[in-house]
Chain A
């Protein structure tokens, strides 16, 4: 059972819309990553969070450690934002590895 859950699994939006992708996990973590994967391409790290909020351009990532929840927001979405967005966590206990969600496939329509 995958303990890193993302929602929604698929998301279609009109260009310019505000996008929110959610990630929840079940036990304590030391870090959470938001990653972007384009079709046929590799994975690009967008953010690494352990608390609070980070912003880069039109992307904003937040994390609530107490609620074990993180969100990735995209403002003024653009067709080039179309990709799979993956949440990955590094747990406090156990192996020092990343555990991945199954991803959210975003399609932004012009």
Chain B
């Protein structure tokens, strides 16, 4: 069974340019997460979806970040315009639901470098 798939794996862009990341969760997983991980730090939640609804986006910097999960399956995370401080790993994860009893599965991450 395929795991959580993310693309691109690596992206280098100049500051002020836009960038988008794509995530395909495990089939049947209703809950999808986007996390931000800075070097040497643990991941921090950006947004959590239950199906197509964003149920927690309190940590998403909405001035430049946006996300969507239109059909409740794949999701995209966009940054426009990117800043130097956005250089990080963007991790997508999914689980059957947001309940505590479900394991969360992570993708390999999209590594962003803003120059």
B40 touches A102 (CB 8 A): yes
Within the complex, what minimum Cβ distance (angstroms) separates B49 from chain A? Answer: 12
A97 touches B48 (CB 8 A): yes
**Contact pick for B91, options A4, A33, A42, A95, CB 8 Å:** A42
- Residues of B in contact (CB 8 Å), total 25
The size bracket of the interface on A is 20 to 34
A96 touches B107 (CB 8 A): no
A86 touches B106 (CB 8 A): no
> B93's closest neighbor in chain A, by CB?
A43
**Contact pick for B42, options A48, A50, A88, A90, CB 8 Å:** A88
- B61 contacts A by Cβ under 8 Å: no
**Contact pick for A95, options B42, B56, B106, CB 8 Å:** B56
B45 touches A2 (CB 8 A): no
A100 touches B44 (CB 8 A): yes
**CA–CA, A100 and B93, complex, Å:** 14
Would you list 14 pairs from A and B whose C-beta atoms are within 8 A, ordered by A residue? A2-B42, A4-B42, A31-B100, A42-B91, A44-B106, A45-B103, A48-B103, A50-B101, A100-B44, A102-B40, A102-B41, A103-B40, A103-B41, A103-B42
